[in-house]
Amino acid sequence: MFQTLSPIAAQGGTRRVSHLSTLLRRCLGVAIALAAGATVSTTALANTTGTTAWPQKAVTVVVPFPAGGSTDTIARMLAAPLNEKLGQPFVIDNRPGATGAIGATFVKRAPADGYTMMVASIGVYAVNPFLQKNLQYDPAKDFDLLTVAVRAPNVLVANPNFPAKTLQELVAYMKKNPGKVSFATSGAGSSDHLTAALFWQKSGTDGLHVPYKGGAPAISDLLAGQVDVSFQNINAVLQHIRSGKLRALAVTSDKRSAVLPNVPTMAEGGVKDVEVYSWQGVAAPKGLPADVKSRLHGAIVTALKDAKMQQKLNEQGFEVVGNSPEQFAEFETQELKRWKTVIEQGKITAE
């Protein structure tokens, strides 16, 4: 029943198997070589072009203030188009405290890999070094500055129940009641605090500083009548002004704001040399890979200069800047010098 192969046939079959095995080994060797070559070529291309596969995961956007303020608003407006353009979520992380110093220090210590960035205001970049002892970051050395995103003048607003209805009336009232009119600010050393201090110096008055941990809680207490007046970013209080919940007395720009055309400038109200713009800048930990820095900066500026984005920002009183990292660095140097002088002359402290 069973057929037995002859020795010659068996020997021939063995030779065929051996030949097939050799052929398979050669094919496998060629495949491995091709794969290795492709890997080497890809690596060589990456090394030649300097490109980095970024982003491959979510990017954390640190806002060193509470949710609801101007800086938080700008960060959230940027997050969506950055997500769309770069293909990964940009997640807002509010880290308030110490007028932005806590969040800024966190960013300084984060890896410079493009997965942590910061949207912060003038206080973080140009004021804190002159007010806070033992500051854990240096704004001029510890960050890769990307761009000044926007700027906007402050607006002096009052609770509607406050007796002064105009800037002139406020100055007269303060001179009769020195140190009694309360000024709410988003924190010691913030733009609104320094604006208030500058206003006191230029108007020959003296107010009561009431610092909060961010603009949102300051505005909340102003609406409730817990404090009298405040210098706030236009966008943060525009809806309250329009609804009559707050009264606008003056803007700190050199000309009237397009969104508040009936509100005089400080100079028009009789107080000169109080021209102040708040601004929000974007930065990352020092040492970003060049290609990551370039891509991130490009995406941010593209988002800011989109026509629909500009319209939304302008409607809220913001002016788009969107400058280069080099321009941001030069601007920061100028701001550091300016506010150092204001703080020293006013003997302003963080307490």
pLDDT the model gives residue 213: 82
pLDDT the model gives residue 187: 79
The CATH number, out of the four listed (3.40.50.300, 3.30.420.40, 3.40.190.10, 3.40.718.10), of the domain defined by the range 153-251: 3.40.190.10
The predicted model gives 114-126 an average pLDDT of: 96
pLDDT higher than 90, residue 15: no
Q: Both tokens of residue 124?
A: 């973080």
CA gap 165, 204 in Å, rounded: 19
The predicted model gives 180-185 an average pLDDT of: 96
Please state the domain extents for the chain. Answer: 59-151+278-346, 153-251
Q: What is the pTM for the complete model shown?
A: 0.73
Q: Find the farthest-apart pair of alpha carbons in the chain and give their distance in angstroms, rounded.
A: 126
How does pLDDT run across 240-280, given as a tens digit for each residue? Answer: 999 999 999 999 999 999 899 999 999 999 999 999 988 99
Contact 125, 331 (CB under 8 A): no
Q: Write the DSSP string, 162-226.
A: SS--SHHHHHHHHHHSTTTSEEEESSTTSHHHHHHHHHHHHHT---EEEE-SSHHHHHHHHHHTS
Q: Residue 183 pairs with which residues in a beta bridge?
A: 209, 229
Averaged confidence pLDDT in the chain = 87
How long, in residues, is the chain? 351
pLDDT the model gives residue 351: 64
The predicted model gives 191-211 an average pLDDT of: 92
The predicted model gives 141-150 an average pLDDT of: 98
Q: What is the pLDDT confidence band of residue 28, given thresholds at 50, 70 and 90?
A: low
pLDDT higher than 90, residue 35: no
Superfamily covering domain 59-151+278-346: Bordetella uptake gene, domain 1 (3.40.190.150)
- The percentage of residues in the chain with a pLDDT greater than 90, rounded to a whole number, is 71
Domains 59-151+278-346 and 153-251 share a fold: yes
pLDDT higher than 70, residue 208: yes
Nearest to 313 by CA among 305, 302, 301: 305
Q: What is the pLDDT confidence band of residue 51, given thresholds at 50, 70 and 90?
A: low
